[in-house]
Amino acid sequence: MRSIRILRCAPGAVGNGCGTAAGAANSNASSPAGTGSSTSTSGFSTASSVHSTLHALRTRDITLRLPSKDHLIRISFCSTSHLLAETIRRHDLLRHTRANLPFLQLLGTQLTFANLMASALEGEERVETRFTAEEATIVTEALALGECRCYLRSEYNAQLEAQGHPTFPLRVNRVLYRQRAPFTSLVHADLAELLQPPTPTSSTGTPKDGEDVIVDQTVPYSLYTPAMASRVPLDAWTNFYSYNSTLHAYNYLRRSDGCVPAVWMHAALDADGLLDADGAPTSNDMNADAKGVGSEGVEEAQVQALQRTLRHAIPYNFGVAVTPLAAGSAVDQQVGRLNQMLMEAAALLYSSQSSDSDASGADAAASASPLQPLLYQCKMKHTACQHVLSLLSGDYEGAHASAVAARQYSEDPAQVAAVVDPIRRSMGVADLVIPLAATEAARVGLDFFCRCSKQNIVSSLVVAPLSALTSLRENHGIVSCSFCGKRHQLGAEDWAALEKTRATPPVSPSR
């Protein structure tokens, strides 16, 4: 991977590191002396264990799919903070990306996008996505039943540009039941096209200037609004385009699926939790300690400590898509307007002015995103599911019932309304209400899971060139899975079986 450009993350090159990762720990209160101390400690331990289990359940990664009450709209919500943490841990991405937090946020939104797409499929049907960004290519595979895996490839945009290819290409393969080949789409979003005013068309469907121009009743592809330039600076759109998958997901859904969606994805990473005081990744010290560890138990403890650190440092990573279901032009127009306002507010989160501590109060207020109070609630209360559904639907009771059905954290709908109502008014969508059919919500738990095995590896090596086998022997027969990073070591029996299979001539198919 090439040297990564750092934007809004703490400076510092990767070294061996000398900081320790701060794992989450609960300090027990001292028990009074005597026979009651053992019972008190045991009771506290049990209560702490129950709380930890409940918290893990309430913050579990999920997809949630539910229709509106009139069944004209489908809303899909996805939470993937643990998937992002596990991807970072398995592939040691804090070190390999030099703790480039904007790129890791992009990775998080790409994980969310793949699982949002998979939530519309069934069983073992899956979505494979490949997205090339400024630093690397993100490859993700998500199954409808909740399995997901992800890794990075070394290709990046500058290489594509040098070859004359479009940058930021997004390839989506959908592998479906009863289909011999996957459905493949390859698109790339053009930021200038997304932001330019839509071209008026004549009755013949061709662009035209003059008196005969009519208003196109279809929802325009462009996100342009007359006040956009004064509200959202160009640098915010550029950062949003480069380090968030939302615009690319919108472009894919418009061009490939032909729908008019409202879509938003957002990831948060806490630099204080991921970086030491010198700017080095906190995982460096753990990785250094883990090398040469003879005890599997100690090594497992290191893994668990890093998992806790990463999960603490990623308070949320979510996405939502609102999709009309052949609902007619009126509903399409409403969802299109919701998407425009949502995109503007989301892009403002990436404004350098809004995060610049030297900016004047007036400038900071003008560039602040109305979504910031909502994101604060999501971070502090882990209520992203309820707050985000409330924001897009305006149905506070339905959003609460949906979050309860999803077994996520929830709170009084009136308290959520007090936060979300001003945001909806500021965005100009207070009049748009989508009553939710919470009783029809379908929830799926998500896990980082890879089906790689030594048997599959041996089978793939049957047709490998001899030079590859020689190189593998020199590497002590160790093969690492690209998707999950798991190391498989081939033993003497595996080599014997492989050589026997390679020596056996292939059986010609019978006629």
Q: How confident is the model at residue 496 (pLDDT cuts 50, 70, 90)?
A: confident
Residue 203 confidence (pLDDT) above 50: no
Contact 186, 165 (CB under 8 A): no
Does the pLDDT of residue 18 top 70, yes or no? no
Q: Distance between CA 419 and CA 493 in Å, rounded?
A: 63
Structure confidence at residue 306 as a pLDDT band (50, 70, 90):
confident
Q: What is the pLDDT of residues 249-259, one digit of tens each?
A: 999 999 998 89
Question: pLDDT grade, residue 42 (50/70/90)?
Answer: low
- Asked whether the predicted pLDDT for residue 12 surpasses 80, the reply is no
How confident is residue 303, by pLDDT bands cut at 50, 70 and 90? Answer: confident
The pLDDT assigned to 13 comes to 31
| d(C-alpha 494, C-alpha 500), whole Å | 10
Mean pLDDT of 260-271: 96
Least confident of 210-219, 221-230, 233-242, 340-349: 210-219
Distance between CA atoms of residues 372 and 261, nearest Å: 22
Three-state secondary structure along 381-427? HCCHHHHHHHHHHCCHHHHHHHHHHCCCCCCCHHHHHHHHHHHHHHH
Angle at 113 between CA 416 and CA 6, to 5 degrees: 95
* Residue bearing the bigger pLDDT, 323 or 298: 323
Is the predicted pLDDT of residue 64 greater than 60, yes or no? yes
Q: Mean pLDDT over residues 18-47, rounded?
A: 44
Residues present in the chain in total: 511
Strand ranges in 40-182 using DSSP code E only, listed in sequence order: 62-67, 73-79, 126-132, 137-143, 147-153, 169-175
Given this model, what pLDDT does residue 336 score? 96
* Helix (H) / strand (E) containing 319: strand 316-324
- Residues 6 or more apart in contact with residue 427 via CB below 8 angstroms: 341, 342, 344, 345, 370
Q: How confident is the model at residue 460 (pLDDT cuts 50, 70, 90)?
A: confident
**Would you say 423 and 445 are in contact if contact means Cβ atoms under 8 Å apart?**
no
pLDDT score at 500: 84
Q: Residues 6 or more apart from 471 whose CB is under 8 A from it?
A: none
pLDDT > 60? residue 216: no
What is the reported pLDDT for 279? 59
d(CA 223, CA 201): 17
Residue 101's φ and ψ, nearest 5 degrees, are -65, -40
pLDDT at 187 over 80: yes
Bigger pLDDT: 439 vs 3:
439
All structural domains of the chain with their residue ranges = 58-269+314-448, 454-503
Tokens matching residue 296: 């599997």
Identify the band that residue 111 occupies on the pLDDT scale cut at 50, 70 and 90. Answer: very high
Contact 269/312 with Cβ under 8 angstroms?
A: no
**What's residue 7's pLDDT?**
38
Which pLDDT does position 300 carry in this prediction?
80
Q: Who wins on pLDDT, 38 or 428?
A: 428
Q: How confident is the model at residue 283 (pLDDT cuts 50, 70, 90)?
A: low
Q: By mean pLDDT, which of 9-13, 289-293, 361-365 is the weakest?
A: 9-13
DSSP assignments along 438-470, one per residue: GGG-EEEE-EE-----HHHHHHHGGGS-HHHHH
Whether the predicted pLDDT of 107 surpasses 70: yes
Instruction: Read off the pLDDT of each residue in 20-44 and give the average, rounded to a whole number.
Output: 42
DSSP 179-206: -SS-EEEEEE--HHHHHSPPPPB-TTSS
The region of weakest confidence among 108-122, 283-297, 396-410, 489-503 is 283-297
Q: Do the beta carbons of residue 6 and residue 100 sit within 8 Å?
A: yes
pLDDT of residue 353: 58
pLDDT at 96: 92
Rounded Cα gap, residues 495 and 457, in angstroms: 11
Q: Which of 200-209, 330-339, 464-473, 481-490 has the highest mean pLDDT?
A: 330-339
The answer to whether residue 260 scores a pLDDT higher than 70 is yes
- What's the order of all strands across the beta sheet hosting 147-153? 183-188, 169-175, 126-132, 137-143, 147-153, 447-448
Question: Which of 446, 405, 342, 384 is CA-nearest to residue 118?
Answer: 446
Q: What pTM does this model have?
A: 0.83
What is the arrangement of strands in the sheet containing 62-67, beginning at the earlier edge strand?
Answer: 262-268, 316-324, 73-79, 62-67, 442-445
Residue 508 has pLDDT above 70, yes or no: no
Tokens of 469: 């086998």
Amino acid at 373: P
Angstrom distance (rounded) from CA 269 to CA 354: 17
CA 493, CA 248: separation in Å to the nearest integer? 48
Nearest to 307 by CA among 123, 89, 39: 89
Residue with tokens 């409202």: 262
How much is the average pLDDT of 211-216?
42
Taking the C-alpha atoms of residue 23 and residue 20, their distance in angstroms, rounded to an integer, is 9
Say if residue 98's pLDDT is above 60.
yes
State mean pLDDT over 109-120.
98
478 against 28, higher pLDDT = 478
Domain 58-269+314-448 CATH assignment equals 3.20.20.70:
no
Residue 285: which pLDDT band, with cuts at 50, 70 and 90?
low
CB neighbour list of residue 13: distance below 8 Å, 6 or more residues apart: 98, 279, 280
Pairing relationship of beta strands 62-67 and 262-268 according to DSSP bridges: unpaired
Rounded Cα distance, 127 and 143, in Å: 6
Q: What is the mean pLDDT of residues 45-73?
A: 88
pLDDT digits (tens, 9 = 90+) for 139-179: 999 999 999 999 999 999 999 999 999 999 999 999 999 99
* Per-residue confidence band for 24, with pLDDT thresholds at 50, 70 and 90: very low
Answer whether residue 212 shows pLDDT above 50. Answer: no
pLDDT at 354: 53
Output the six-digit token pair for 170.
């997004």
How many whole angstroms separate alpha carbon 18 and alpha carbon 169? 39
The mean pLDDT of the chain is: 84
For residue 19, count other CB atoms closer than 10 A to its CB: 16
Which whole number is the average pLDDT over 467-481? 85
Three-class SS of 64-85: EEEEECCCCEEEEEEECHHHHH
